[in-house]
Amino acid sequence: MERAIVGFDQDELGDWRAILACGHRQHVRHNPPLVERPWVLTEEGRSRFLGVALECKACDEGEPVSDAMITPDALEAVYRQFHTDLVRFIRPRVADPGMVEGIVQDVCFHIHAQASDLDESDHLASWLSQIVHKVIDNRDRHADQPADLSTADDREAAAPLAEAVKGLVACLPGSYRQAVVMAEYQGLRPPAMAERLDISPSEAEARVRRGREMLNEALLDWCHFEAERQGWVLPRRSAQ
Ligand SMILES: [Zn+2]
């Protein structure tokens, strides 16, 4: 997963590391003749690389950064990216590009209404894919020229959305993020996870459960962020 460089620091040996938006650090050594990165040695050089994206393996593996939540700025970047990912998924599936933002709004409202019903065992990207397709179908019924879309809601069709959800997962605190990544993306059951992390199966189960709760909260939080940014008024959620 690509992550923007937000700063630099040095390890205990004085080697330079890039600090990524996710909080992971990655060595960017100047180690000639093997690795030539003279720019990393000067403040001016480093500043030129701020905002440049690096592939973060640690994110793909769900490696914990720390148990702190990410900074508000980084969170905002994650939320904006989620919007971008949604648009990218929706765009090829509708006939009229002018409909895309309206669809994002409907999707936001649907997520807002349904996020609390989301069950731990639901595959998140499939759940999201169903919502998006439902919204597109609804809109198309009123359009002159319905788009030719597949309504397949299997995991394969949901793959692009899996990336979007993965971005959101990145805002969870360390051990919960790792648990959700292992459960959702690597398909590990709690006993296997427990073995890999050297914790008890009940602890593994608890982390997945809490991680999923946090992810639902992040989805809801995204709805509020997006609504505020776009000037939408979210419908009141019925108290149950
Ligand atoms: Zn990372």
User: In angstroms, what is the span from residue 23 Cα to ligand 1's centroid?
Assistant: 6
First to last CA, the chain: 38
Alpha-carbon span 5 to 32, nearest angstrom: 22
In the structure, ligand 1 is a single-atom ion and the residues with CB under 5 Å from it are 22, 24, 56, 58-59
Q: What is the DSSP string of 90-144?
A: HGGG-S-GGGHHHHHHHHHHHHHHHGGG--TTS-HHHHHHHHHHHHHHHHHHHSS
User: In angstroms, what is the span from residue 3 Cα to ligand 1's centroid?
Assistant: 7
Q: Give per-residue pLDDT as tens, 58-87.
A: 888 888 776 666 777 888 888 999 999 999
User: In angstroms, what is the span from residue 168 Cα to ligand 1's centroid?
Assistant: 12
pLDDT of residue 14: 79
Contact 171, 218 (CB under 8 A): yes
In 3D space, the residue among 159, 157, 203 whose CA is nearest the CA of residue 178 turns out to be 203
Residue 155 has pLDDT above 80, yes or no: no
User: In angstroms, what is the span from residue 113 Cα to ligand 1's centroid?
Assistant: 31
Mean pLDDT over 2-12 rounds to 87
User: In angstroms, what is the span from residue 146 Cα to ligand 1's centroid?
Assistant: 40
User: In angstroms, what is the span from residue 63 Cα to ligand 1's centroid?
Assistant: 8
Per-residue pLDDT band for 120 (boundaries 50, 70, 90) equals confident
User: In angstroms, what is the span from residue 239 Cα to ligand 1's centroid?
Assistant: 37
Domain spans of the chain?
2-60, 72-230
Which residues are CB-neighbours of 77 under 8 A, at least 6 positions away? 4, 21
pLDDT of residue 144: 58
Contact 71, 103 (CB under 8 A): no
Which residues are CB-neighbours of 152 under 8 A, at least 6 positions away? none
User: In angstroms, what is the span from residue 24 Cα to ligand 1's centroid?
Assistant: 5
User: In angstroms, what is the span from residue 231 Cα to ligand 1's centroid?
Assistant: 32
